[in-house]
A and B are shown apart, each in its own frame.
Chain A
Amino acid sequence: MKNWKWTLPVGLMAIVAIALWFEPAFADKLSDAIAKAPQGTEPGQIDPSKPAGFLGIPGSPVVNPILAFCWAVWVGWIFSTVGAFGGVMAGVGHMSVFGFGTYAGSFKKTAPDLGKIVTDSIKASNQFLVGLSAAISSFNYLKMKRLVVPLAVTLGLGSLLGAWLAQELSAGKLDFKSYQGYFGLFVLLLGGWLLYETTPAGQAKKQTAKKAAKAFEDAAKKQASGESVDPTKIGLHINHFSISKCAFTFYGVPFQFNPLIPFLGGIVISAVAAFLGVGGGFLLVPFLTSVTQLPMYLAAGTSALAVLVSMVTSIITLLMKGTPIEWHFIGLEMLGIAVGSFVGPMTSKYFSDVWLKRLFIVLSLYVGIGYLLAGFFNYKIPGV
């Protein structure tokens, strides 16, 4: 277990360095796509006389660095204040605010290869933004030894396979309109789920859970304290591991699961997350706690590692397929998110959490419907 502290960072470092080593060799893919695109001044054509913008393509949107920074501050502020919607807002920024979406979509008929490269690059940027927290969390959980290694391995293998399959099957094939449609569907479902949670039925479920936990805590306080814990039971002990059964005890409490379930779950969740260019942690944790019924204490660290594996696999697969990455753009966005996360806790006392959540639910429903209509039905609603 302790070797993970060394092997994981060193392994990741090696993988990223190798991917970047080969990146220039694949960079020609963008040049080839630009060369194949028709030249002219109409939408869907490349005008060589215009200044190079996003990805160095002549005539592509030139994002004002101040606008990119300010939007990222907004994303960071939302993340630190509401605790959600940051990934969605980052995607909205890339697609609608900076104009990459309209630009990529304009090549659907004239130069599909170029449109797909731009789409993949947007996806990779989203993954950098939403997946980075998983990297920090994974290292923290590794240090705290809060990982069920067989579970992390099976889930990680599933995530790796899912992320690789999604990128292998979709990289260079997914045109922007389809991506926008699927992203819209995802945002709409997310908004719908959060809306349900604010309804009396959703709130009742939460209140019941709170009451049950509170009653148990009160009862526990009344009991005499001072019971000692058997030192041999402290921590995690794997008792049995086979292809169909993993049994372990945690602080003396027995757990067991079928390793095939997290493996298959990892494939499906990571494939969806990689396809959409989102992190996936928000799906993995409920999956682990609901399907395998693992305690959050272990599910959190394990899912963070699976998200990290999935993110690294997706980005490397995209890089190997020749997807260009705008490092300065991502760096600028990270700076903005950092500033937003700095400002968020200072200003949160002036806003109501509930009303902010409701505001963003409405926003996500609007954005979701807008992207869904624009992507699948070519119908634009104002603002998206």
Chain B
Amino acid sequence: MNDFLLHAFLGLDAVLIAPFRLVDDARAGFACGILATALGAALLGRACAAAVDRVQRVKRTRQEAEIKRHQDTSFSALAVKDRETYLAANHLAQEAYGNAMALAAGRAAALIWPALMVLAWSTWRFSGVPLPLVGEAAGPAVFFIPAYLVFQWGLGRARRIWAARRDRAGS
């Protein structure tokens, strides 16, 4: 089992270090590697979160519909000053919200695990190595996290634009 884990780790290391070696210049290579791993982590995270979301869809839709139903009831009750029904419906919405939050935790974990793995790997791989601009004062996380967040934002935006175009084409 230990051999399997070691081989798996070495294989992963070879894949992750490859973009850092694409360019001969050390600084450019580092930038290329950080950007490539950040993009890869963002893409893999999005794919995993989408897969979890797809499996959860039925349950999530049910929970969200329940939350909405109780919320709507609570609003309507408040509008006619029926405080008792308002509080009762609000309480029921709270319970459904707890379940929806638990499902969101799964999607969050699916989205973020590749970034944490790359963070762990890069911290280990570049331990003691002076990095461009910061030397040994900071780790690769300082470069990786902003790049990862920018890619996440970009992918989210691209997905929204694509969905809007698809909806327009459909209608």
Contact = CB atoms under 8 A, between A and B. Distances in A.
A130 B123 CA distance: 24
Given A17-B145, A24-B136, A296-B90, A341 B76 contact: no
Contacts, number: 204
A76 interface: yes
A338 interface: yes
A327 B115 CA distance: 10
Interface in B49-90: 49, 51-52, 55-56, 58-59, 67, 69-71, 73-79, 82, 84-90
B95 to A, nearest CB: 8
A216 B108 contact: no
Contact of A253 (B49, B75, B84): B75
| Interface secondary structure of A, over-half rule | helix
Given A84-B98, A328-B121, A346-B55, A293 B87 contact: yes
B42 interface: no
A16 B145 contact: yes
Contact of A21 (B87, B98, B123, B138): B138
Contact of A209 (B51, B92, B109, B111): B92
A132 B105 contact: yes
A259 interface: no
A295 B107 contact: no
A69 B113 CA distance: 12
Given A337-B109, A342-B55, A342-B110, A285 B94 contact: yes
Interface stretch (A28-36, A133-141, A185-193, A370-378): A133-141
Contact of B123 (A327, A330, A335, A337): A327
Contacts of B77: 216
A13 interface: yes
Interface residues of A, number: 69
Contact of B89 (A16, A213, A326): A213
Interface string B26-58: 000000000000000000000011011001101
B17 interface: no
A172 interface: no
A335 B113 contact: yes
Interface in A253-290: 253, 281-282, 285-286, 289
Interface SS, B side: helix
Contact of A331 (B74, B97, B106, B120): B120
A208 B48 CA distance: 41
Contacts of A83: 98-99, 101-103
A213 B92 contact: yes
Given A216-B85, A334-B112, A296 B71 contact: yes
A23 B101 contact: no
Nearest to B136: A24
11 contacts: A24-B137, A79-B106, A133-B101, A136-B107, A209-B87, A212-B89, A213-B73, A286-B94, A331-B117, A332-B117, A341-B110
Given A76-B109, A253-B75, A304-B101, 18 more contacts: A17-B146, A20-B139, A83-B98, A129-B109, A133-B102, A136-B108, A213-B88, A216-B77, A217-B73, A289-B90, A289-B91, A295-B86, A296-B93, A300-B97, A331-B114, A342-B52, A344-B106, A345-B55
Interface of B: 1, 5, 48-49, 51-52, 55-56, 58-59, 67, 69-71, 73-79, 82, 84-94, 97-99, 101-117, 119-121, 123-124, 134, 136-139, 141-142, 145-146, 149, 153
Q: Which 10 A-B pairs have the closest CB atoms?
A: A341-B106, A331-B116, A328-B120, A338-B110, A83-B99, A133-B105, A334-B113, A209-B88, A327-B120, A296-B93
